[in-house]
Structure 1
Amino acid sequence: MRFVVDETEIPARITSLVIAGWTGRDPAAVRHHVDELAALGVAPPSEVPLYYRVSSSLLVQSSGIEVLGTATSGEVEPVLVRLGGALYLGIGSDHTDRELEAVSVAASKQACPKPVGETLWRFEEVEARLDDLVLTCAIEEDGRWTTYQQGTLAGIRPLAELARAAGLSDNQAMFCGTLGAIGGVRPAGAYRMSLTDPASGRSLGLSYTVRTLPVVS
């Protein structure tokens, strides 16, 4: 795997991957997300936030992923990556099996690839204005693109706080949580995601398609 920082390629071997869940800064927003998933049969978390460890091999840089069945969906998230003692910010999708989520959230996190963008920003360069950064996700639905998620990082707990709590170390990446889905959580065949810094005009982008594999018995 490789990342690009300031137009320079940085080879990386991510040996540990963490999915931080239930990271909303507003308790009411967290409750909304809990209720949103409860409607799908998902049990509430044992604590907030909750840090799920998943296989590092799930982290992929690809324009398409393959998943089992039609009950999976992605969600845009800021991603922290620590390499060589430095902390970087990127963008990724915590693609999750929603049917399995109703049985075990931890198992559902392990069931799907986790697409991540190639470009990273130096965390220190944007740390002072993190709350102003804008996350957006659009999905292809009924032949057209629909806004699925949109909001600023002010809706998510401070990323440095999450990194400290998770003990983020070298060669580790962490997905830092997401925003509520507009119209409810649902599957899609393609995703377009961005993390935009209004102050600089820079954006990180991620797009991918989803190929569903048949469930056979």
Structure 2
Amino acid sequence: MQMNFTLAGTEITFDIDHCTVAGWTGRNAASIQHHIDELAAIGVKPPSSVPLYYRTASGMVTQQSCIEVVGQGTSGEVEPFLIACDGELYLGLASDHTDRELEAHSVALSKQICEKPVASEIWRFDEVKDHIEQIEMRSWVQEQDGDDWVLYQEGTIATIRPLSDLIEGSQLMGNAANGKASAMLCGTLGAKGGVRPARRFKMALHDPVLDRTITHAYEIRELPEIA
């Protein structure tokens, strides 16, 4: 699937042929257990091992400002987004939007059924790799129309496993071949007040060293769940 991104003010196109969602990527046991516990509270079984790499359809990656989901049980997660192509690596921003009700049945299916919103701007990984763990991630939610934005997640990339480990574990670079690109969502932060659905989701990736920020926001449009 071809997607256009902005890189240093210039448009760059990738043919994304492989997409992975890395899950359970907390760096220490306490943060992993916190995420396991908050998902257990909504009925999600613990993982068989950590981290896990879920393959999802590349066509589910979207830059649209609105996604459509079935039912009222989905929510977003701010995550680093990596793209590998022709031996180069790029860093961006994504939301691993997930069906929480389906997650109680199958984490893999819950990842695969929802579109993955991504920002249209990316950075060269080489420009940030020496301070990658200082890069900040935040998300906000509007739970209902007319509500104020509420801080939902906040932390740095240092709270998740080293991206170099995730790149190796997922074989991200190896999955980019013959001019095609591979992409990976790299894990998230705990949610303030617990995992919950929202009407709108906003996220930011901030580089305090180079003083620049990538942002993206999207609306969640709920389709009726017909039995």
TM-score, normalisation: structure 2? 0.94
Show CA shifts across 1:24-63 (max 9, x none).
1121000010011111111111110000001111111111
- How many residue pairs get aligned? The number is 217
TM-score, normalisation: structure 1? 0.98
Alignment of 1:68-217 (within 5 A): 68-142=70-144, 143-169=147-173, 170=176, 171-217=181-227
**Structure 1 residue 12, shift from structure 2 partner:** 1.1
Q: Give the AA of the match of 1:147.
A: L
**Structure 1 residue 14, shift from structure 2 partner:** 0.6
Show CA shifts across 1:48-106 (max 9, x none).
00000011111111111000001000010001101222000000000000000000000
Alignment of 1:50-61 (within 5 A): 50-61=52-63
CA–CA distance in structure 2, aligned partners of residues 161 and 26 of structure 1: 14
Matched-pair contact (CA < 8 Å) for 2:133–2:156: yes
Q: Give the AA of the match of 1:23.
A: T
**Structure 1 residue 11, shift from structure 2 partner:** 1.1
**Tell me, which stretches of 5 or more residues in structure 1 are unaligned?**
none
Identity across the alignment (%) = 52
**Tell me, which stretches of 5 or more residues in structure 2 are unaligned?**
none
**Structure 1 residue 130, shift from structure 2 partner:** 1.1
SS at match of 2:167: helix
CA–CA distance in structure 2, aligned partners of residues 108 and 165 of structure 1: 21
Q: Give the AA of the match of 2:209.
A: A
Q: Give the AA of the match of 2:95.
A: S
SS at match of 1:151: strand
Show CA shifts across 1:159-200 (max 9, x none).
111101111032110000000000000000111100001111
CA–CA distance in structure 1, aligned partners of residues 171 and 133 of structure 2: 22
